[in-house]
Amino acid sequence: MVTQTNSAQRIATLILKGFQHHYRLFQEITDKAGERFQNRDWQAVQAAARERISFYDVRVRETTATLQKHLLDEHLDEPLWAQVKIEYTDLLAFHPQAELAETFYNSVFCKCFHRRYFHNGFIFVETTIDDRIPVPVAAEYRSYFPVEEGIRSTLQRIIRDAGFSAQFADLELNIEQLVQAFSQQTAQQSLAAHQLRLDVLRSPFYRNKAAYVVGRIVTRKAHYAFIVPVLVNAEGRLYLDALITDNNQLSIIFSFARAYFMVQTHAPSALVRFLQSLMPHKTLAELYSAIGLHKQGKTEFYRELLHHLERSDDQLIAAPGIRGLVMMVFTLPSFPYVFKVIRDKFGSSKDFGRETVLKRYQLVKRHDRVGRMADTIEYSNVALPRARFSTDLLTELQNSIGSSMEIENDFVIIRHLYIERRMTPLNIFLEYASEAETEAVLDDYGQAIKDMLAANIFPGDMLLKNFGVTRSKRVVFYDYDEVQYLTEMNFRTIPKATSEQDMLADEPWYSVGPNDVFPEQIATFVFHDRRLREIFLRKHPELIEAGYWREQQQSIAAGEIADIFPYPSTIRFNKLCAD
C-alpha cells in the first residue's frame, strides 16, 4: 500500500528531476558560449540567446504533463501537497541550485492548481535557502596573490585561467596596457604587490561579440570591482579591449536594458552574492536576470515587491506623463518600477489588437536589447492589496482594463501584467533639463535609435514619451506595441507634389502602404519645439534620410552584426589588435 509519504516523495523527486533536466540543458547551451565567441559565429550567438530563454517554460510544461498524467488527482489534496513541499525542501538541503529548484517547483505547482493555494503552505513564497548552509562564495572565484609572482605575471595568469582556447594577438602588450589602466583608473597605483589580492570569477561572461573577465581588487581597507572586456579580431586572435572600474560603467554593463549574459555557474547563489559585493545597489532580481536566470529574477522581484508592500504605506497611482493608447501604466511612488496592463480598447490610431502587443513584447524579450530597450517581467494572476490602490486609479483601471482584472475579497487580481524599471519619460526630463543636459540627452536619443536599427529593431512610435532617461542619463526605449523588425519596413522619400492643390490637401497626394515609413517626417513629428528639433538635426541629420535607414537594412540582410560597446570608446586600449 502506497502511503501519503511515499506519494509525496515520488512527486517531489519527479519535480526535482524535471528541474535538473532543465538546468543540465541550460548549462549545455551556456557552456558552448566560449566556442561560439572564439569562432566569431555571431549568428549562432544570437540564436542561442533566443533559444535559451524558452528552455524553462518547456521543461515546466513537460514536468507538469508528467504529473498530471501519472500522479495528480483532479483536485488538490492539501495534506499530500503540504507533505510534498516538506519532502522537496529536504531534497534541497545541500543542492547547489536550491533557490532555482524552489522556483521551478513553484512554476509546476502554479500550473496545476488554483491561485487560492499560492501561499507559503504549498509553494516557496519565501525561500528556505536562508535556513541552509550557504554555498561558499569562494566556490565561484579564484584568488590570486601578486606577492608570489608580481603584478604582471599575476594578470597574465588570470587571463590564461579564464579558459580561452584561441590565441591572443599580443598578450604582452595587453598586459602592459592593463597595468597602465589600473594605475590610471584606481586608487591602488601606490600599492605594492604584497598589499593586495585579486579575486576573479572562474568563468568569463559572454554576450554578443565580447567576453568579460569580472573580478575585484582586495586590500586591507576595501575592495574595488573591475571588468576586462575581451574581443576577437578578424583573424580569430583575442585581445583585451579595456579596463572598467567606474561603478556607473559597471552598472551599465549589467543593465536591465541589455541581453542576458551566458556564464557557467554551478552555484548561482554564490555567483550572485559575489556580483552583489561589486554592485551593492543591484538587487538579487536584477543580478539573477543579468546572468540569464530570468525566471529566478522574476521570483526574487516578487519577493522584493511583497517585502516593500509590508514596509510601506503609500498608494498605487497612475504613472506620471501622457497616457498611452495601448497600455495602462501605474506605479507605487516609493518603489522604482511601473506596472503595465494592456487596455481593453486601443486608441483609434492603433490598427492592431491584443495578440499583436503580446507578440511584440515577446519579440523584445528574445532579442538583443543593445542597452536601449528595457527588460520586462511578465506575470499572470498577480494579487495586489486593494487598499493600496488609490480611488482614482481603481476607477481608471476598471474603465480601461476591466477584462484583465477582478476584485476578490481584499485583493485586486491582474490577469496579465508587465513590470519595468521606472525611468523619467524623456519629454518630462527635457522640461527641466539644463542646456548641457538637453544637448547630451538628445544626442543619446538619436544614438538609441541608431543602436536599435543596428540590431534590426524598428521602434515604431519614436515620440519622446516612449523613451526614458535612466539614473546614469542614458536614453532607453520602453514602449513596444509598435515594434517591428527593421527589415520588414519600407523606407521611402516623400514624392514631390505635382501641384499646389496636392500640397494643400488634407490627405497625402501619394500612396502609403502599411509598412511604409518616411524618415524625413521624424523631426517634425517628434519635435514640436523648434529648438529641440534643431539640436536633434545637428546631432543626427542622417536619421531623416530614407537612404540611411535602407543602408541599415542592407547591412542586416548581409549578415553584419554591429559592434555596440557597453562602455565608452575613450577607455578602450589602442586598437592595434582590432579588425
Residue 502 has pLDDT above 80, yes or no: no
With 70 as the cut, is the pLDDT of residue 187 above it?
Answer: no
| Residue 551 lies inside a defined structural domain of this protein | no
What is the torsional sign of CA 319, 321, 468, 492?
positive
**Is 384 labelled a binding residue?**
no
- 325 annotated among ligand-binding-site residues: yes
State the DSSP string of 110-171: HHHS-GGG-STTTS-SS-SGGGSPPPPGGGGEEEE-HHHH-HHHHHHHHHHHTT--SPBS-H
H or E element that contains 533: helix 530-539
Residue with the bigger pLDDT between 87 and 137: it is 87
Q: Examine the domain organization and report whether 347 and 439 are in the same domain.
A: no
* Residue 576: band (very low, low, confident or very high) from pLDDT cuts 50, 70, 90: very low
In terms of domains, do 216 and 324 share one?
Answer: no
Q: How far apart are alpha carbons 30 and 456 in whole angstroms?
A: 24
Residue 253 sits in the same domain as residue 362:
no
Q: Is 464 within a domain?
A: yes
pLDDT-above-90 percentage for the chain? 77
What is the per-residue pLDDT across 345-400, written as a single tens digit (0 to 9) for each?
A: 998 888 889 999 999 999 999 988 989 999 999 999 999 999 999 999 999 999 99
Amino acid code (one letter) for 295 = K
CATH number, domain with residue 462: 1.10.510
pLDDT band at 190 (very low <50, low <70, confident <90, very high): low
323 is in an annotated binding site: yes
Q: Which domain holds residue 207?
A: 138-292+569-577
CATH number for 340: 3.30.200
Q: Are residues 143 and 288 in the same domain?
A: yes
Decide if 297 contacts 285 (C-beta within 8 A).
yes
- Which of 132, 155, 179 is where one domain is finished? 132
Residues in CB range of 263: below 8 A, 6 or more apart: 30, 33, 201, 203, 204, 205, 206, 271, 291, 292
Instruction: Give the residue with greater pLDDT, 70 vs 163.
Output: 163
Please measure the distance between the N-terminal and C-terminal CA atoms of the chain and give it in whole angstroms: 70
Residues 285 and 335 in one domain: no
Q: Is the pLDDT of residue 180 over 90?
A: no
Cell of 208: 554578443
Q: Which of 181-195, 255-269, 492-506 has the highest mean pLDDT?
A: 255-269
Distances (CA, A) of 381 to 65, 206, 348, 360: 21, 34, 28, 21
- In contact, 476 and 538? CB cutoff 8 Å: no
Between residues 136 and 289, which one has the greater pLDDT? 289
What whole-number distance in Å separates Cα of residue 254 and Cα of residue 259? 9
- For residue 214, CA distances in Å to 135, 147, 159 come to 20, 21, 11
Q: For 266-273, what is the mean pLDDT?
A: 95
Q: Does 309 appear as a known binding residue?
A: no
* Residue 149 DSSP SS3: helix
Q: Is 241 one of the catalytic residues?
A: no
Residue 553, in any domain of the structure: no
pLDDT of residue 192: 75
Q: What is the number of structural domains in the chain?
A: 4
Same domain for 382 and 240, yes or no, is no
Region 92-100: what's the mean pLDDT? Answer: 94
pLDDT, one tens digit per residue, over 431-489 is: 999 999 999 999 999 999 999 999 999 999 899 999 999 988 999 999 999 999 999 99
Residue 199 confidence (pLDDT) above 50: yes
Q: Which of 95, 11, 113, 105 is nearest to 56 (CA)?
A: 105
Q: Is residue 305 part of a domain?
A: no
- Residue 577 is predicted with a pLDDT of 46
- Interaxial angle between packed helices 4-31 and 55-70, expressed in degrees from 0 to 180 and rounded to the nearest 10: 160
Of 339-348, 407-416, 492-501, 503-512, least confident by mean pLDDT is: 503-512
- Average pLDDT across the chain, whole number: 91
pLDDT at residue 131 is higher than 80: no
**Of the residues 422, 447, 482, the one at which a domain ends:** 422
Whether 306 contacts 125, CB under 8 Å: yes
Return the higher-pLDDT residue of 290 and 512.
Answer: 290
One-letter amino acid of 159: I
Q: What is the CA radius of gyration of the chain?
A: 26
Whether 117 and 86 map to the same domain: the answer is yes
pLDDT score, position 271: 96
In this structure, the chain runs to a length of 579
The dihedral sign for the CA sequence 113, 117, 122, 124: positive
User: pLDDT category, 125, cuts 50, 70, 90?
Assistant: very high
d(CA 579, CA 576): 9
Is 158 part of any known ligand binding site?
no
Q: Identify whether 549 is part of a domain.
A: no
306 belongs to a structural domain: no
Place of cell 519622446: 464
How is residue 215 annotated by DSSP? E
**Least confident interval from 71-85, 98-112, 293-307, 526-540:** 71-85
Among residues 241, 368, 375, 461, the one annotated as catalytic is 375
Residues 411 and 533 occupy one common structural domain? no
Same domain (yes/no): 114, 146: no
271-291 burial: b if 16+ Cβ within 10 Å, else e: bbbbbbebbeebbbbbbbbbb
Half-sphere exposure of 169 (CA within 13 A, CB side): 20
Residue 349 neighbours by CB distance under 10 Å: 7
pLDDT at residue 578 in the model: 46
Tell me, yes or no, whether 153 and 274 share the same domain.
yes
Which pLDDT belongs to residue 56? Answer: 95
Query: Is residue 187 one of the residues assigned to a domain?
Result: yes
Q: How would residue 73 be classed by pLDDT, with cut points 50, 70 and 90?
A: low
- How many other C-beta atoms are found inside a 10 Å radius of the C-beta of residue 167? 11
HEC readout, 317-368 = EECCCCCCCCEEEEECCCCCEEEEEECCCCCCCCCCCHHHHHHHHHHHHHCC
Which of 394, 422, 450 is the last residue in one of the domains? 422
Please check whether residues 263 and 224 belong to one and the same domain. Answer: yes
**Amino acid letter, residue 53:** I
Residue 4: pLDDT over 80 = no
Residue 189 pLDDT grade (very low, low, confident, very high; cuts 50, 70, 90): low
For 350, the grid coordinates are 492603433
| Claim to verify: residue 391 and residue 433 sit in the same structural domain | no
Residue at 300 is within a domain:
no
The three cell numbers of residue 147 are: 606577492
* pLDDT at site 184: 79
Residue 453 near residue 519 (C-beta atoms within 8 A): no
pLDDT at position 501 over 70: no
At 321 the pLDDT is 84
pLDDT single digits (tens) 532-568 = 999 999 999 999 999 999 999 999 999 888 888 999 9
Mean pLDDT of 17-41: 96
Mean pLDDT to the nearest integer, 210-217: 96
